[in-house]
Structure 1
Amino acid sequence: MSCWDTVQMYAFRSIGYGERLLPREDFTLCQQVTLIGSGMIWNVYFGALALLLGFFLATAVAMGKASPSRWLRKPSEWFIFVFRGSPLFIQFFFAYFAFLSLKQVSPVFDALSAAWLGALIVLFLNTAAYSAEIFYGALQSIPKGDMEAADAYGFSGWPKFRKITWPTMLRLAWPAYTNEAIFLFHATTLVFFTGFPAWQQRGDALYYANYFADKTFNPFVPYPILAVYFIVITLIIIALFALANRRLNRHLPRAVRPRVKLRPMLIR
């Protein structure tokens, strides 16, 4: 069997297309690269949707925490505290058993115990809490002169938020938010260790990497392949966020624009 045949058989296996049975023996490098790459579809699904939905919730929570109203500020503070103060794995654990309890109440909640929805909800809430704290810090760092200038020009309410407050907040928060996006995609590997089941062996990338490590008794091939995939994802995130950062700072002279760059930490 050629490598191209292997790609056709297993490239989309994790979402239910292609060969259903996993290889049992004579594992090739092409099989491992293809199946782990197939599992990355789920990691990208979890990371992209959680990040997109979490961005809007984080903005709302950050505004709530900065609100002078106690009824908005306290729930926002507790939401951030709970999800930032507890480990993500514990959140997966409690959410799974909470969703199982809801499933017993009504079949309407059946989908919550599946990884595609239940794990996504946990990641969405977790990244929203971390991002909200980043956005809140950025809100507190907005120069008062910008707000005074907006008031002087007659901006107030929603126009002031949309044209002045929100863009300035994003410009200040974007480097830290880029790191949160990277950490979120890395955190999607935790779904494998949670109670959310992989239906019909259609797991994420770590599921397939662990499968090959168990079958070959050699973790030094599948896990580095998995690491390379995540490095590629990280580079893509940095590139996309750098483009967004350039867009956010397009009004500034090129020489003073803050840049989002890959800066590997060799010594910590």
Structure 2
Amino acid sequence: MRRLNGQGEQAIADLARRYGVSADAVRALLDAVLLGGGTQAQFSHPELGGSGQWMAGGMTMVGDMFNHGLQATVSGLATELSSLLSSTQLYAPASPPAAGGQPGAAHRANLNNWWPGGLGQPSSTGSQNESRYAVFPAARRLAVRGGDGEVRVYDTLDHRIAGVQQQGGPRGTLSFSSQHGTFTVESLPLVTPVPQRPHPVANPSEPAPASAGGTDPEAILAAIEKVSDLHRRGILSDDEFTAKKAELLARL
């Protein structure tokens, strides 16, 4: 744990007073935001709802998932801490690491860019169980790295992803929320090929990759089948299923 300077101690005290939490809780979140490169944090503190995650851009999870007041507190506090880290010297000077020592937070943040190039900058990133995810709204893509290390990229269609849901299904399943409600990552069309190969040889037996606009007929039909399965399992209501099916058919 790095040592705060006088300015840092004062900033922690001010934030603790304004948000109604202890300085220890603020310091725990500060350390987590620092380790996340200023854009994300994985923290654990009883005053912050236990274990939770914060991602710049509005995605915040706390252990008490229905405590919206606590979510707002964590989101506001983490956002201010991120801003302070980028604009204010909060820590006492430290000696440079020796050769072969641990890399700094900025370098660790660069190492976390596990998604394929060409997608741009994600609006939010995080992890749940054995999977990691990154959301790219400008490209309408969602990148997921599973426990096997393989990265899969999905077409988010017209979903405006607002958050990731707490684990509620089989282990390894990721569920997100959007203006259409809750959906699983498996309900989205998979964009192929996943591994980037130079000059791939076309194989007529393989389906064509989904286009950037998400209008590939095979991908859309596959998405309709998955939406139908969600409807049969009771995850989607009749109205949600009808609306989503009509939306997908309109893309054909």
TM-score over 0.5 (shorter chain): no
Higher CA-based Rg: 1
- Larger RCO, structure (CA 8 Å, separation 6 or more): 1
Structure with higher helix content: 1
- TM-score class, shorter-chain normalisation, is under 0.3
Taking structure 1 as the reference length, what is the TM-score of the superposition?
Answer: 0.20
